[in-house]
Amino acid sequence: MLIHPDRLFPAEPTIRAVARRLYTTVQDLPIVSPHGHTDPRWYAENEPFPDPATLFVIPDHYIFRMLYSQGVRLEELGIPTRDGYPVERDPRVIWRRFAAHYHLFRGTPTRMWLDHTFATLFGFTERLSSKTADDYFDRIDAALRMPEFRPRALFDRFRIKAIATTESPLDPLRYHEVIRQSGWEGRVITAYRPDPVIDPDFEGFRQNLVRFGEITGCDTLTWDGYLEAHRKRRAFFREYGATSTDHGHPTAQTADLSRAEAEALFSKVSSVEVGADEAELFRAQMLTEMAAMSLEDGMVMQIHPGSSRNHNQALFSRFGRDMGADIPTRTDYVKALKPLLDRFGNERDLTLIVFTLDETSYSRELAPLAGHYPALKLGPAWWFFDAPEGMRRFRELTTETAGFYNTVGFNDDTRAYLSIPARHDMARRIDCAFLADLVTTHRLDEDEAHEVAHDLAYRLAKEAYKL
């Protein structure tokens, strides 16, 4: 078998038996996917996926970052360059190159997701390798041409209750409009990601502000007009189902400047290049402003700090953003979030979900903060930690202080559509294994564990994101 039925369950028989019982009650629950990066065009046009390489390899930084680390050039994997430099165009050649390096993923969560997908969707029982590459390619390619492998059919097959894409305020949401006009009942919503018009270090920031004004009809070179433009776009996004905003800042720093100070700072960042300290202060102020707007309009606010994004300057210059070079940094939350929490942390009507790439902050900072402030919740998985070990450590380090109910279930931060069921299955297995340990050490009754397993797999995410 390509995947074992007891994968990720404890080896000890008694604990494993409890984990199995818990898992059977949650394995087929609907999927709530409130934060992700799948392409809304897939659901709008409902066209067949083109080929295995274009579906699995080219868009997935989990895959190509590993191959790149072992000397495979991104051009050899068909990753398009900014300057139009020729790259490999033959999908079979790309797939064979991927298959020849599949051993690099041994022991990684990516390997588990891929094997799960290959086994459950395409019926493979033999591992991907150079030997099986062409068989894999042909069988997957043939399947992708069938109606049951089109995006909307897979949406139903995966039992997706709701899925959120993520768009910039500058995005017209054209594909979301196509989905709405089509009459299809699948719930695909957007999420408001304002980084291009909030982060002074974002490429084209000042040009983005001008475009922001053109779209909204607001004078986005004045502080009041700029804030009004955000309110208008947030309202527009809510028309297409948005229930959340998402903020990918380098740190969790927040600020609460006076109106005069904020206005003066905006006047500067909107007109000239500013230094690192002023850029950081503006991002910090805007997190607090976004929290104020969330309290007004009810949108859930997500913060994804602690990533040194596009760390590989050569790759960024040649290929652009999101090339697998977002590297975790040490992150402070206690001092950084205090200005925002001083103003809004006690608000029961605000939901602020904080993610991290810095595991050292789980028990030291995040769990105590979430275990105290009504507004604050913890998002348990993001990129490096949507892995079995990371998921387990999250539960071990946060439950003692924050409990289960100051977290928001599992969030799959994915661009790879076909891996969504595999990621949720992994999270459900890890949570059931953790709960089984609590049951067998007599810290939790099994009837309670069944309730918690259901909450972690489904209810908490659905309720936290107002879905």
Angle between helix 91-100 and 61-69 (nearest 10): 60
49-149 CATH choice from 3.30.70.1380, 1.10.2020.10, 3.30.565.10, 3.40.50.620:
1.10.2020.10
Per-residue model confidence (pLDDT) at position 381: 63
In this model, does residue 321 exceed pLDDT 80?
yes
Residue extents of the structural domains in the chain: 13-48+151-464, 49-149
**Mean pLDDT along residues 90-119:** 96
In this model, does residue 382 exceed pLDDT 70?
no
In this model, does residue 61 exceed pLDDT 90?
no
Nearest to 388 by CA among 410, 366, 406, 403: 410
CATH class held by domain 13-48+151-464: alpha beta
Per-residue model confidence (pLDDT) at position 387: 84
Question: Which structure tokens are listed for 358?
Answer: 């810095």
Per-residue model confidence (pLDDT) at position 413: 80
d(CA 270, CA 205): 8
Question: 136: how many CB neighbours lie within 10 A of its CB?
Answer: 23
Where does 8-154 show beta strands of DSSP type E? 31-33
More confident residue, 345 or 306: 345
Per-residue model confidence (pLDDT) at position 337: 98
What is the bridge-based pairing of β-strands 307-308 and 376-378?
A: unpaired
In this model, does residue 274 exceed pLDDT 70?
yes
